[in-house]
Structure 1
Amino acid sequence: MDAVPDRRRRRPGLWLNPAALGRFQHRAGLPLFAGLVADLRRLAAVPVEQTESDASAADGGRPQLVQVLEAAAIECLLAGGDGGRAERAAGLLDAHLDRPPGSCLGKAAAAQAAAIAYDACTGLWAEEERHRLAGRIAGLVESFDRLSKDNPDNPFNNWWGVTHASAGLAALAILPEEPAMAPRVERAIERVRTYLLNYGDRGNYYEGIGYGLYAFSHWAPFVLACRHCLGRDPADTAVGLDRLPALVYATTVPCAKEVGCGDGAGPGERGRRIFWNDDGGGFPGAGVAALLFGLAPRRQLAALRRQYDQLCGPEGDGTCFRAERNPLWTLLFYPAETPPAAPGDPDPEKEGLPLTVVDQRTGLVLFRNRYRDADDSVFAAYAKACHGGGHNHEDAGSIRLMALGRSWATGGGQAKPEPEYQCVLLRNTAQRPAGAPPGHTRLGQLSYFAPAPDGSPGGAASLRLAQLYGARMVDRHLAVCFDPCPGVAVLLAGVEVLWDEAPVRWDWSLCFERELSFEAGKDGRGFLLTAPEAGAAVTFVAPEKLELQCREGPASERTFSNGRYVVYPGARYITASLTAARTEILWVMTVQRGAPPGIEVTGAGPEQEVRVAGRIITLDRGRWFDGPLRILPA
């Protein structure tokens, strides 16, 4: 199929057309965007010699050349036919292409910026200049033909999505002047379509949502450009991608970013996210988050805008007004004409964000109590039902919990893949058994899901992990209830069903935020985690005797593709251990302000019940299936 039916396509054309340009300029003139446009003009005027190379981290206060180039290109879109601005943009594009990054990931960012600049300005350049710059960009696109560590021949790695999408975008931008790029556009469409099959049916990504969003920041502009100027959709066979925006917000709470687990955050930035692997616990940032609007269903825009404003707008860290944060996506896709939804908005044309997410393909179950403020609660369990490759921590069967502005169950973060940091069960003291062949990922299964019996937020899930452990039975039954009584934000319960052929050592592990204080219970059957404003209490109802320890792992380090080197402090985690061939661990966790609620245990064995916070915890022991765990009103 011909990639561009009309080779005389007018510019701009990737995401706008000449008819839509006037509306774009009008939007940019709204008072809402005044601060962003002013910052754009400031950034566009920065001289080339005062910029950092595109491969640098640019942490010293000097902007990257790629940021100045994009700002100058957007200024051309806003100013129309100002030849002086177009000439400056051409000079910046030349300087940008004169400094090609060494890595293919850096080249992908360079290719995206080149595409943005060329598409925005080429209608203002003379034909000779247009063809000259198109030829230079074609050389950058052709450099992706060479495979490398960060340009792998591996469709299961997020780098595949990054490099092929941005190379395709640059090829598409220059295609009217460089028709020889048509096969590369076709190849990019084919490869991006293949890569997008890695996302789950509710948008979850098995390398971690953060890595999925990194790739998204490259493939989404390409997908949206193909839809707009080709009438083709590289995402047409990937179910669930339109649910990715809602998933990002479902996993994010609008409080301060977590320290020590992610890739770092600027002062005051907001948005803490539950995460798996080492993708970090932060919100992606204003520009990438604005790009999510371009993918989302229209009926969700009002709800998504409310969360975006709370995180990136005046109610949040204000980064949506900073020109360094992919401002084109904010100006193109932010739904300025759609008022933000109020919580519980009854308008049937507006769809709220989900309080429950079940991604069957990846084995993710998430429950949330509301979308309101920093005290929102989010609990999730992850079976890790599939994993194609790339970043991989030993987190199959793990849990995560955020509530009252803290992470009470989290992952180890960067360069800490070991299972003891992942809130999982362990066998043989911090070793996962050989439940999978060497070099293969150990996977679990989501075996049961049930919403809360009374229709309130929360519910139950079961994870089947026997294959992962090479044991006869390893099941995790989990149930969560939000706001069960005044002062208690979360009631979480779990039953670990363990059955092996001979007695072995089992460790129940919980990794928690470093800033929390640990205190073992006086009776040896539980512990407290405390912050100045809140606390969590964990009680082991059965068995009666567990060996409890609080530990701290070593610091870790990582060198990023741009050369940035970071040392991360060790993760803190708790283990509760016992040795048995067949046993069950029944535990209860509450998160509250003030003193934890009391626990009352009645009965034994199949008749056992636990009463706490005005609720009853019981395990439904049906004939065919031990589970699920239930939390019922008392």
Structure 2
Amino acid sequence: MKRWLLAAAACALHPPLSAQDHPRLLFGREDVPALRARIRKDPHQAMFEQLKANAETGNWGTGPVEGEYDQIISAHRCGFLYALTGDDAWARKARGWVEKRLADASVWGNAKKKGLTLYIHGIFLATTYDWCFGAPSWNAAFSKTVSETLKKQADVIFKSGGAEQNASPASNWQGLRWSSAGLCLLASDEASSAADLDACFSKTCRYLAENLGRGGSGWNCEGLGYTYYPMGNGVCPFGVAMARQNPSKDLRKATPAAPFTLWTVYAATVKTGTGLWRPDFADDNPGTAAEGTMGFAFWMCPPELHPGLKWWYDRTVGPQGDKTYDCARFGIPASILFHPGDTVAEKDPMTIGAWRALFADTAGNGMFTFRNAYAGPDDIVLQVFAKLLGNRGHSGPDSLSYRIYGLDGQWAVGGGRYGPKTNGQDVYFRSQNTVYPGDPDGKLAINSERGRVVGHRLRDDGGGWVVLSAGKNNVGTSNHTRRLAVDFSGKSGAAAAVVIADTSADGRFWQHCALEPHPITVEGNAFTIAGPGGNSLRGTVLHPAKTELKTGMRPRGSKAGAFENNTWVAAPGEDGSFVVVLTLQKAGKPAPKVSASGTWTGTPKGTVTVGGLTVAIEGDAFQD
């Protein structure tokens, strides 16, 4: 069978034939022989072995089965193993976990239950039923009970959505709500309305359009944590199943940005000595439990990106990486189904023009990515966020803010999630890498204004520059323009050099935040952030020429890995303008000397020298 389930059209080749024809959601019974053949060869054999080892563990792929998500996802894994092997022992295990969940009547057809709990139970019961239908241990009476439960779950999700839901059409809640209802309808063998299924599809499409925008590179307005969760567990499984049922209904066509949204899962992820990390914005959560999106990316993304996806999959979670195969939730089943194996030749993403073109997100939410490599701990990634669509769903106060990860560290981070407060306001307001109109720990005039792109240029080596502006940035600074250039050429003598020139009407503090294990020391107008193994970030404030740097530590709104706090450094200023150089050095390498000449207040015109690199700025552009 040609590239089984991998080509863009493959999922539409075998629509379900009739009621009680199973499996039918992600693949058909005619695909099962090829599926069983593929797990006899690596990397899919290694994925299969990992799935068996993880089958009855916590929903994140590790630890004991304790909570309700652990149980229903254990059922899902065991059900897929039955489909892979035909061994009824796995179907019996799946049935045991399903029976435990069915015994809790509160999660089935209950509009008063938290919506997300309804959605996850519906999704994973649907896949388990689809894969185990017809197994010797799933007799007709039990299968009928499960089918009826799925219809009841679909109805309550469709009609009410459950309790506590975020009703914003851009929210991950809505993506999961409509995709879970649709998946339950597609799995159940009870009579249902075609109009209801069509509505689930159209509202899932609306979620993608509202969340991603009508164009651009596919960055999620709520951050990558809220790409993993709804896309990996609901939107993508429903998208595959819907396209198999009706090829004209393809979620990848919901909005021009949709085919690229799972590219974002790969784009900024870096390898470090403490595992995989990546920058995050909005509802800031920099963990990397990708929940199936690593595998589903090969279905969602256009073929020209597949060689780069394979390159980075294999080096992060695959055979050349940590060998977890994206083990959380839907992860390993999605990887087994969609990772192309040897049918696609890998290619370094930095050599793929279509990949690098997505680094400039000018028509979506406005994420700009600068990156030097996809290789290992020496990779460096900087992202800066225009926030072109403003606040949507779970948003953060991060317009014009930046993040820096890589070189085995977390050098510039956000403030975590909303929730915990200091001085009556969410603590994550206080830990943005931006210009503040007053003390970041004082009372802030938070707003939801969007930024705009003034100009940009990206180079083939991953460097370049961007100029962004906002009438007010989200922490209340007026007429803020941020000019930011990144250089990976080595001319500076550093692994990376970053030049930032900020102007504003009333900015009085320039701030930079790092993760807790990175201590910050100050010497005159310069600061040094220490990293693992002696790597470092050196920052120098060139304007104002004289400033008294302040440092400290404050709590995050949520943990980043095991860490609960951020370190920070702030430079006071009086004229609203700041010029700062950041350089990243490997252990044993000195930071290059830096200097500036010109006029920096108001409309900037001058040059910044970083080692052997000269950067010229005039107005709202860098002079190449």
Matched, 1:444 2:486: no
Which residue does 2:266 correspond to in 1? 249
Matched, 1:309 2:314: yes
- Which range is displaced more, 604-613 or 526-535? 604-613
Question: 1:149 offset after TM fit, Å?
Answer: 4.3
Matched, 1:139 2:152: yes
Question: 1:498 offset after TM fit, Å?
Answer: 2.1
- Which range is displaced more, 363-372 or 333-342? 333-342
| Residue number among 139, 142, 164 corresponding to 2:178 in the alignment | 164
Question: How high is the sequence identity, in percent, across the aligned residues?
Answer: 22
8 Å contact 1:420–1:573 — kept in the other structure?
A: no
| Residue number among 354, 358, 383 corresponding to 2:386 in the alignment | 383
Q: Which amino acid aligns with 2:398?
A: D
Which residue does 1:563 correspond to in 2? none
Q: Which amino acid aligns with 2:39?
A: A
| Residue number among 408, 413, 420 corresponding to 2:430 in the alignment | 420
Distance 1:40 1:396, change over 3 A: closer
Which residue does 2:346 correspond to in 1? 341
Q: Which amino acid aligns with 1:223?
A: G
Question: 1:326 offset after TM fit, Å?
Answer: 3.5
Question: 1:279 offset after TM fit, Å?
Answer: 3.3
Distance 1:382 1:17, change over 3 A: same
Which residue does 2:32 correspond to in 1? 21
- In structure 2, distance between residues paired with 1:97 and 1:119: 16
Matched, 1:515 2:517: yes
Which residue does 1:222 correspond to in 2? 238
- In structure 2, distance between residues paired with 1:474 and 1:352: 30
- In structure 1, distance between residues paired with 2:54 and 2:558: 33
Which residue does 1:179 correspond to in 2? 191
Q: Which amino acid aligns with 1:19?
A: E
Which residue does 2:377 correspond to in 1? 374
Say which SS state the counterpart of residue 576 (structure 1) adopts.
strand
8 Å contact 2:371–2:463 — kept in the other structure?
A: yes
- Which range is displaced more, 398-407 or 350-359? 350-359
Distance 1:31 1:552, change over 3 A: closer
Which residue does 2:496 correspond to in 1? 490
- In structure 2, distance between residues paired with 1:533 and 1:246: 32
Which residue does 1:153 correspond to in 2? 167
8 Å contact 1:420–1:509 — kept in the other structure?
A: no
Matched, 1:37 2:35: no
- In structure 2, distance between residues paired with 1:519 and 1:86: 58
Which residue does 1:552 correspond to in 2? 553
- In structure 2, distance between residues paired with 1:195 and 1:419: 26
8 Å contact 1:366–1:378 — kept in the other structure?
A: yes
Question: 1:511 offset after TM fit, Å?
Answer: 0.7
Question: 1:122 offset after TM fit, Å?
Answer: 2.0
| Residue number among 575, 579, 584 corresponding to 2:577 in the alignment | 584
Question: 1:526 offset after TM fit, Å?
Answer: 1.9
8 Å contact 2:465–2:622 — kept in the other structure?
A: yes
| Residue number among 546, 566, 570 corresponding to 2:565 in the alignment | 570
Question: 1:172 offset after TM fit, Å?
Answer: 0.9
Please give the per-residue CA displacement for 1:81-122, whole angstroms capped at 9, x wherever unaligned: x66655654454333322354532122221111111111122
- In structure 1, distance between residues paired with 2:170 and 2:609: 46
Which residue does 1:598 correspond to in 2? 593
So what's the TM-score if we normalise by structure 2? 0.84
Which residue does 2:617 correspond to in 1? 619
Q: Which amino acid aligns with 2:554?
A: G
Runs of 5+ consecutive residues of structure 2 not aligned to the other structure: 1-14, 108-112, 419-425
- In structure 1, distance between residues paired with 2:557 and 2:90: 47
Question: 1:195 offset after TM fit, Å?
Answer: 0.5
- Within a 5 Å distance, the mapping from 1:55-66 to structure 2 comes to 59-60=63-64, 64-66=70-72
8 Å contact 2:437–2:477 — kept in the other structure?
A: no
Please give the per-residue CA displacement for 1:605-634, whole angstroms capped at 9, x wherever unaligned: 6663222221111112xxxxx22134x5xx
Question: 1:285 offset after TM fit, Å?
Answer: 3.5
- In structure 2, distance between residues paired with 1:106 and 1:357: 36
Question: 1:316 offset after TM fit, Å?
Answer: 1.8
Question: 1:387 offset after TM fit, Å?
Answer: 3.4
Question: 1:235 offset after TM fit, Å?
Answer: 4.1
Question: 1:358 offset after TM fit, Å?
Answer: 2.0
Q: Which amino acid aligns with 2:359?
A: T
- In structure 1, distance between residues paired with 2:124 and 2:229: 15
- In structure 2, distance between residues paired with 1:495 and 1:84: 64
Distance 1:331 1:497, change over 3 A: same
- Which range is displaced more, 282-291 or 224-233? 282-291
- In structure 2, distance between residues paired with 1:42 and 1:59: 11
- Which range is displaced more, 587-596 or 317-326? 317-326
- In structure 2, distance between residues paired with 1:75 and 1:537: 51
Question: 1:57 offset after TM fit, Å?
Answer: 11
- Which range is displaced more, 109-118 or 379-388? 379-388
Say which SS state the counterpart of residue 618 (structure 1) adopts.
strand
CA-based RMSD of the aligned residues comes to: 3.2
Distance 1:127 1:457, change over 3 A: same
- In structure 1, distance between residues paired with 2:21 and 2:556: 54
- In structure 1, distance between residues paired with 2:118 and 2:218: 27
- In structure 1, distance between residues paired with 2:291 and 2:231: 14
- In structure 2, distance between residues paired with 1:323 and 1:424: 34
Question: 1:173 offset after TM fit, Å?
Answer: 0.8
Please give the per-residue CA displacement for 1:51-75, whole angstroms capped at 9, x wherever unaligned: 88x8x99854669222331232123
Say which SS state the counterpart of residue 216 (structure 1) adopts.
helix
- In structure 1, distance between residues paired with 2:44 and 2:252: 30
- Which range is displaced more, 510-519 or 322-331? 322-331
- In structure 1, distance between residues paired with 2:175 and 2:145: 28
Runs of 5+ consecutive residues of structure 1 not aligned to the other structure: 258-269, 559-565, 621-625
- In structure 1, distance between residues paired with 2:175 and 2:328: 25
Q: Which amino acid aligns with 2:169?
A: P
Which residue does 1:466 correspond to in 2? 471
Which residue does 2:278 correspond to in 1? 273
Say which SS state the counterpart of residue 468 (structure 2) adopts.
strand
- Which range is displaced more, 87-96 or 505-514? 87-96
| Residue number among 172, 176, 189 corresponding to 2:201 in the alignment | 189
Distance 1:550 1:344, change over 3 A: closer
Q: Which amino acid aligns with 1:162?
A: L
Please give the per-residue CA displacement for 1:474-500, whole angstroms capped at 9, x wherever unaligned: 21111111142385111111111123x
Which residue does 1:399 correspond to in 2? 402
